[in-house]
Each structure stands twice: as structure tokens, then as C-alpha cells.
Amino acid sequence: MKNISEAELEVMNVIWQKEEITSPEIIKALHWKKWNHNTIRTLINRLLAKGAIEIVKKEKRICIYKAILQKQEYNLIAFKKLLKTLYHNSITEFVEEFYKNSFLSKDELEKIQKQINEMLKKNDEKHHNNN
């Protein structure tokens, strides 16, 4: 999957909200960006070329689009890229950065701790079942 620009991501966020969507619906949803209709159509065409979306069907001159690249898949790709680029693939450095800069509230830290505890428990169970 080729990189998706910030502008293309705005379009993808609209597409991800519906199972199928037309270009007029995408244009309407992005009215707040004050982009020219042709700009949005160009972004749609780029996403088609990158394989992020596909045309499901065509009714007269209006295409109906569907996401091929799912939001969770994109988020994972983007996160891995961020982790590699800024944190040398170290999740520890990533978490330390948030901790040092107080980006995480106590509530968020407690949620993370709970998730870590659950992951440790699953990991222990997995290793126990393999032995």
C-alpha cells in the first residue's frame, strides 16, 4: 500500500463511515474543507490508483465507492511507520515519550496497565498451554 496523504486520509475518513458512498456524498461530507469539487475527485482517483478504495458500481455518471483498505489496517500501518521512524521500533520509547510529556492522564495510564495485565495473563496462558 502506497502512502496516503493527509488530504487523502480526510477522504478515507468519510468513506470509512459508510459501507458504500458516492462522490457527491463525499463532497458534501467534506464541505467544511472548502475544497474544490475537482480537488476531491482527484483525491478519490488517487485513492483508487493506490488500491485503497474501489468502484462498486456506476449509476449513470456517478460512481459508488467502497473502502478496500480498512481503518484498522491503515491505523496499524501508520502506527508501525511512526514507531519505526520516530522511536526505532521501540514501543517502550514511544510510551516513555508520552509519559515524560504528560500526555497520558491517570485514567489512561490505569487503562493501559489493565490492558498490559490482560496481555501478560494471555501470554502466560499461551506459554503454559505450549508446555
Q: What is the pLDDT of residues 88-98, one digit of tens each?
A: 999 899 888 87
Burial 34-57 (b: 16+ CB within 10 A, else e): ebeeeebbebbebbeebebbeeee
Q: Is residue 80 one of the residues assigned to a domain?
A: no
Q: Is residue 78 one of the residues assigned to a domain?
A: no
- Residues 56-73: tens digit of each pLDDT: 999 888 999 999 999 999
Measured CA distances, 56 to 17, 21, 34, 40, 64 (Å): 16, 9, 27, 18, 6
Give the pTM.
Answer: 0.77
Q: What are the phi and psi torsion angles at 104 (to 5°)?
A: -105, 130
Q: Which residue range forms the structural domain that includes residue 45?
A: 6-67
Could you give the number of structural domains in the chain? 2
Q: Is residue 91 one of the residues assigned to a domain?
A: no
Q: Is residue 36 one of the residues assigned to a domain?
A: yes
Q: Is residue 85 one of the residues assigned to a domain?
A: no
Q: Is residue 18 one of the residues assigned to a domain?
A: yes
Nearest CA-CA partner of 71 in 55, 94, 53 = 53
